[in-house]
Amino acid sequence: MKLEASIMVFPEPLSEPTVEVLRNAAADWNRTHVHQFSEPIPRLLQLRLDTSLPDYEEVLAMLDNLRSRANVRVEISYRRIYDEQDYLMAAFVEIYGVDLGAPDRPFVLNTDQALGPAVPCPSCGWQDPFNAKQTAPFEIDEALLDEAIPDSHSQPLGGWDCVDLPNGHKLVSQRVLVLFSQGHVSGYDLFPVLVGKTGRKSTRMSQILSRRAILVPCNQHESGISYCPTCGAVLAQPEGMSAAAPLLTPQPEFRIKKSELAGDEIFSRHPSRGAMLYVGQRPYRMLREAPLNGIISGEIAGLCE
């Protein structure tokens, strides 16, 4: 596992002379370093690099010097990047799928009818796209299951096996369900999706939800982070970890009590039970070892000792 820093630098307040200072500093850096600043949007510079590299400490010193000379703001966020060994040692692994379709040819044909507006959490007010309430089965363009996506160089043999939905939920293929059934994997429910506007249930894909949502980690007492018990949003963080300040470390890995699972091998970190879906190590290995397409590993969760 490695820790990647995403460094964003921009003038505050906006000033074209300050923008010029920033661009010159970035150009000087880029001339002598492999990891380089880019300008993804005008007047905002960004650099991503592994925090274990010597360049990381060097760029922090350069930015401190820059802030002493110009009105610039530096925001740093961090994310863990896991390797396959990390995933094979984890108690639970988040999975997600591919994004299919395009604005001129959507994969989900009835998003506006199937999903209502995102609803704020009644306890803390947090709201995100995952909070959109589903009111009808999704209608899908099944033909897209057999077509290549931009990141893939060829068509998926047998079709895509995991596809993300607009509300963060997932569709899984019949191949995945046969694998789970034969392996006696527990802890999930299935809902039908429809083939286009035919009203016919798909025999290829099903919507999968966990039977239980675990929103608050057992180890929150160790991290000093408090969570909303209704939706799982972060309510408070230790001093120095506020959203307005550069984070020194990412949030601790999510850990849960084994007793909360009651034998289930799948859980969700979202009250909808379909978004932020995690599978246990045994079903995770089943997915990795089978010839499946589009099963993507995300975050890791552990068991609290």
- Cα 66 from chain centroid (whole Å): 32
Q: What is the pLDDT of residue 220?
A: 67
Residues whose CB falls within 8 Å of the CB of residue 124, separated by 6 or more in sequence, listed in order = 228, 230, 231, 233, 235
Q: Is the pLDDT of residue 147 over 50?
A: yes
- pTM for the whole thing? 0.82
- With the C-alpha atoms ordered 290, 292, 297, 302, is the resulting torsion angle positive or negative? negative
CA 158/CA 173 separation, integer angstroms: 10
Arch. (CATH architecture) of 2-81: 2-Layer Sandwich (3.30)
Extents of the domains making up the chain: 2-81, 86-215+250-303
pLDDT at 168 over 90: yes
pLDDT at 240: 44
pLDDT of 268 > 50? The answer is yes
Which one has a higher pLDDT value, 206 or 103?
Answer: 206
Convert the pLDDT of each residue in 21-36 to its tens digit: 999 999 999 999 999 9
More confident residue, 196 or 244: 196
Mean of the pLDDT values across residues 85-111?
Answer: 95
What is the per-residue pLDDT across 296-305, written as a single tens digit (0 to 9) for each? 999 999 998 7
DSSP H/E element including 202: strand 201-210
Could you tell me if residue 223 is left (phi over 0), alpha (psi between -120 and 50 degrees) or otherwise beta? Answer: alpha
- Say how far apart CA 53 and CA 170 lie, in whole Å: 36
Lowest mean pLDDT segment, chosen from 11-25, 73-87, 238-252, 291-305: 238-252
| Cα 290 to Cα 35: distance, rounded to the nearest angstrom | 36
Residues with Cβ < 8 Å from 125, sequence gap 6 or more? none
Q: Confidence class of residue 243 from pLDDT cuts 50, 70 and 90?
A: very low
Alpha helix locations (H) across 39-192?
A: 54-69, 84-89, 111-114, 174-182
Region 104-124 average pLDDT: 93
Q: Is the peptide bond before 137 cis (omega within 30 degrees of 0)?
A: no
φ, ψ at 297 (rounded to 5°):
-85, 140
| pLDDT for the residue numbered 256 | 92
Task: State the CB neighbour count (10 A cutoff) for residue 62.
Answer: 16
